[in-house]
Amino acid sequence: MPKLAIPLTDIQPRTAKPKEKPYKPGDGGGLYLLVNPDGSKYWRMSCRFEGIERLLWFGKYPDVSLKDARNKRIAARDKMDNGIYQAQAKRLEKRQKAISAANTFEAVAREWDANKLVEVCDHIAPQVSTPDQRRALQRSSLYGQEAKPLPYRLAQMNLLLHGLEAPQIAYGNTPQRRVSEIGHSERVDVIFTNPPFGGEEEAGINANFPPDMQTAETALLFLQYIMRKLRVAGFGAERGGPIDTVWHYELPLPEGRKKYSKTAPLQFEEFAPMQAWWNAREESPQAWKIDFAAKRAAAIDAATPHWQRAEAEVMRLLGEIEVLVNEVQA
């Protein structure tokens, strides 16, 4: 008669002592505990599948308890009864996860539909009425940049689906470029962005910013990039003329909170004090205003002598060129 294994008790795996050679206290059904000379213990199961001797691994004891090992044995037997071996089961599980990820792609894409450039594209498109306007929308109106592969692909895909034939989305980390290299021809009128507040950049990124403006806080680096990227003429403009006064409001952190993060983000309810303040704005420890008109006037006054000298120099050079041209023609 075949020898039947006596099931292990809960205490046996715990008290099994190492010996000079590995040994295998059995629990029945092919399940046993491998006890090594170094004291490590692993659950294994010997079985036959499709006529071939197989060996399954269920994990290390005590991470995997006797009860857990028995459940794994039952699950393995059920799969083999259905013609599936453990390795095949893992491959099937991996494939199923990939399918599930693919099924959520549409949900992710829909979430990306709320992306700024997509919404801007949808807002501008109905206003296009001439070939020149369409050409401007397609080629020289919307630009973007994304550092992560999946959002980068989603941005490209959704802009294509919304009628943009060649989305101008750059792949890369925005602060990797020196802000001093951004010229006037690259500046734009409006910037929509959602920088990772609370994030930190690599130490080397700081070299792209002025020494007195370097920081590990990603949001502050993005703010410098935004200020450099905006057109001077477009900054601070609104309907009815330029802005004369700029208000600032510092939203204090909630009591007990040191910072915001992905897992503890800013909540809409925290804007309630600012909303209440907005319609009756007064200066306070959290709020202050800047006389932007005075600063603009001072900047113009300071710049005017330089403009005048530059204009005079240009006129002088044009005069010299005209004299040279006349001499050549004579």
Task: Let me know: does 219 contact 196? Beta carbons within 8 Å.
Answer: yes
pLDDT surpasses 60 at 138: yes
pLDDT surpasses 60 at 238: no
pLDDT recorded at residue 236? 42
CATH number of 11-102: 3.30.160.390
Tokens of 273: 């004090």
The span from the CA of 179 to the CA of 184, in Å, is 12
Domain boundaries, given as residue ranges, for the chain:
11-102
In the DSSP assignment, the letter for residue 184 is G
Confidence of residue 186 (pLDDT cuts 50, 70, 90): confident
pLDDT surpasses 90 at 8: no
**Cβ-proximal residues to 47 (8 Å cutoff; 6+ apart), any chain:** 30, 53, 54, 56, 76, 77, 80
Average pLDDT, the chain: 80
Segment 17-24 shows an average pLDDT of 89
In the DSSP assignment, the letter for residue 17 is P
pLDDT recorded at residue 4? 60
Return the minimum-mean-pLDDT range out of 44-48, 272-276, 287-291: 44-48
Segment 239-261 shows an average pLDDT of 80
Predicted model pTM: 0.42
pLDDT surpasses 50 at 110: no
pLDDT recorded at residue 135? 87
Segment 243-261 shows an average pLDDT of 85
pLDDT surpasses 90 at 283: yes
| Highest-pLDDT range among 13-17, 73-77, 158-162 | 13-17
Question: Of 4, 11, 50, whose CA–CA distance to 27 is shortest?
Answer: 4
242 vs 266 pLDDT, higher one: 266
Strand ranges inside the chain, DSSP E:
26-28, 31-35, 41-49, 52-61, 144-146, 169-171, 237-238, 241-242, 245-249, 287-291
101 vs 289 pLDDT, higher one: 289
Segment 1-22 shows an average pLDDT of 80
